[in-house]
Structure 1
């Protein structure tokens, strides 16, 4: 596996126009069950084919597990400088419902160890909307989390995955999910509790204090290029062969055994390559950018959309104007972003904006620009 990871890393870096790496993220599955030497090997390969400074953020996802994991200090010695821990819950009943193989004490021990090794660079994941969870029990649990966390917290609402044991239990009424109203209250109260504790919300699910934001995730939300290595990995980058114009979406083979065989045969295991259209790329810029509290600034949008700026694309839409009047969306000299209340409704706001973006691209440009100019004169 290690040799294959090195080979695919080398090949995809050589295929891309990426020359400088701002972050490396070992995630998906349980990468902390790998050997620290694998982390070392991958980082060494990256540094041979792209610039990797001593200050580059290198994150490792960790699940608190009783056995099968190398000491975290060995991963730090291998080059990891940020740890993301899947605590999920400090409630034993919730952990059992989620099917986790760790208990709250093991989670606490893992977080304490991580904070000792990477002070200020430890993130924990916490989940809400769990069967049997109430708003008050969630608030109490979050207060407990604040007593042990470092400077970064990610909050995720539980999503039922078809085919899982939990999905079947809910489907057969053995467990009941909190109502949509209660989960909305959980999210709102969490934002208030975290703000009071000094955490700044910088994305829909992410909160940080002391500027301990995730460089890697910000790269996703700002539509930067990234390369996905390993079974089932996804990437978005500009291949050298395309001359620096078009970005490709790449997906690596999912099954580990098949992935290894393909890497050994072809030096990489790219299963699917899709050249993103201009509209497809802008859809990603829009969807990911609006997840951030700062939204999308004009300069960032124009870098991807020379055809039309934010005002030209969205300003003339009556639906967008209605969202602004209701106080959910802001389009001004700073760019396009959701308000505090709007961020909680992002899933219902995005379809409106995506439809307007598609309309702009399928409307003759002169007609669209004339309409925008007419509206500006009417004001």
Structure 2
């Protein structure tokens, strides 16, 4: 289930939580290669929702009062501070606002943040600006204003077209709302609308899922994101399952659903380019690709994550940064010192390579030799994995491919990525330690 978590929330990748990572004595990443530090993506977290879905454990809050003006000013200030700290010298290549429910924010808030970015770095007319939209009548009514503010890509959280499922999930929209919002978004941004669909829902069968997906694809635009519903401890849904009120599909059934979706999407002209993302007509999400290719990203807002080299402080290694979770505390910290960074962890070279490996293997194209060399000029993919007996077994099974292009999963292997990643990480650590000892 790790593979299917949504990426666009200032994504915190890896098999371990970054709070568990320690600053090591390993050789840190050098910013000598401008390609690794001259650009970044920007993620802005809007922490507020009107209600909490039964399955959700994201960092979100029900606002006690309307403090949008204060939140907007603080988001602008933290954006300015962190851009200056990163000293991104070229451009911000994508911008994404997630949450929470970012479509609760006033369109002027997004316009102000984009204006702040453009004053610090180059923000070209071709930059991808994504907004997550909850498909309610209120969300739909603001689409034109969001588009006018600079948004050119909408991510619509449809999740399901089944009324009973939307109710059990705690969603505050119905299927008609979703279809109308999707239609309006497609008018404004043809080819720039992504639809989030959730599978593995309570009492869902593969047959029901297949019919629903086919119905959804008749009205989708050029991008689809699949997410498996996962039980998160502490959520209402988790408690319902624990008490026996709700029954979830088995792992075998959810695996069938995933394979069914991959086949159905392919039949409708969608190409899979990542574990849970499918596109046609070159509509891949550039923002999420920046995560999966190990590029820098700056996380702004309560609870957002970031990965960048703080050149403005003389930094020479990439840092894993987490902003303060609670909005009220975060606002106070931003007002006091310009940002609300709660945790900073300098990533050693091995930790950086682990991230690049874990994220890169999510993509169908995998990791090319040239791309890996950007982060590991002294230790190639062939040196790390070519002589491993365990990896050779995966190659012989046809689950993994290691050739002149690089390292990637086969079509069958991508569905088994979670089971292969620990093997690959062990081989990476072993090779890295041997190289370090030899030097």
Match of 2:405 among 329, 334, 347: 334
Pair 1:164-2:239 in alignment: no
Q: Which residue of 2 aligns with 1:13?
A: 83
Within 2, Cα distance between the matches of 1:260 and 1:364?
A: 45
Pair 1:79-2:150 in alignment: yes
Q: 1:21 aligns to what SS in structure 2?
A: strand
What TM-score do you get using the length of structure 2 for normalisation?
0.82
What TM-score do you get using the length of structure 1 for normalisation?
0.95
Q: 1:5 aligns to what SS in structure 2?
A: helix
Larger Rg computed on CA atoms: 1
| Structure with higher helix content | 1
Within 1, Cα distance between the matches of 2:139 and 2:272?
A: 34
Q: How does 1:88-127 map to 2 (within 5 A)?
A: 88-127=159-198
Q: Which residue of 2 aligns with 1:44?
A: 115
Q: How does 1:137-216 map to 2 (within 5 A)?
A: 137-216=208-287
Pair 1:300-2:403 in alignment: no
Question: Is the Cα–Cα contact under 8 Å of residues 221 and 288 in structure 1 kept in the other structure?
Answer: yes
Within 2, Cα distance between the matches of 1:154 and 1:45?
A: 30
Within 2, Cα distance between the matches of 1:98 and 1:197?
A: 27
Q: 2:226 aligns to what SS in structure 1?
A: strand
Within 2, Cα distance between the matches of 1:102 and 1:191?
A: 26
Q: Which residue of 1 aligns with 2:132?
A: 61
Pair 1:24-2:24 in alignment: no
1:29-52 per-position Cα deviation (integer Å, ceiling 9, x unaligned): 111100101001000000000110
Question: Is the Cα–Cα contact under 8 Å of residues 305 and 323 in structure 2 kept in the other structure?
Answer: yes
Q: Which residue of 1 aligns with 2:74?
A: 4
**Cα distance, 1:3 vs structure 2:** 0.8
Within 1, Cα distance between the matches of 2:327 and 2:259?
A: 40
Within 2, Cα distance between the matches of 1:343 and 1:50?
A: 37
Within 2, Cα distance between the matches of 1:254 and 1:69?
A: 28
**Alpha carbons of structure 1 residues 183 and 367: separation in structure 2 relative to 1, 3 Å:** same
Match of 1:223 among 294, 309, 313: 294
Within 2, Cα distance between the matches of 1:321 and 1:243?
A: 43
Within 2, Cα distance between the matches of 1:190 and 1:144?
A: 12
Q: Which residue of 2 aligns with 1:375?
A: none
**Cα distance, 1:176 vs structure 2:** 0.7
Q: How does 1:317-328 map to 2 (within 5 A)?
A: 317-328=388-399
1:283-306 per-position Cα deviation (integer Å, ceiling 9, x unaligned): 000000000000000011011012
Q: 1:149 aligns to what SS in structure 2?
A: coil
Pair 1:131-2:217 in alignment: no
Within 2, Cα distance between the matches of 1:193 and 1:18?
A: 41
**Cα distance, 1:366 vs structure 2:** 7.9
Question: Is the Cα–Cα contact under 8 Å of residues 17 and 244 in structure 1 kept in the other structure?
Answer: no
Question: Is the Cα–Cα contact under 8 Å of residues 134 and 182 in structure 1 kept in the other structure?
Answer: yes
Give ranges in structure 1 of 5+ residues lacking alignment. Answer: 369-379
**Alpha carbons of structure 1 residues 118 and 364: separation in structure 2 relative to 1, 3 Å:** closer
Q: Which residue of 2 aligns with 1:372?
A: none
Count of residues paired in the alignment: 368
Higher normalized contact order (CA 8 Å, seq sep 6+, divided by chain length): 2
Question: Is the Cα–Cα contact under 8 Å of residues 107 and 142 in structure 2 kept in the other structure?
Answer: no
Within 2, Cα distance between the matches of 1:364 and 1:112?
A: 55
Within 1, Cα distance between the matches of 2:436 and 2:74?
A: 48
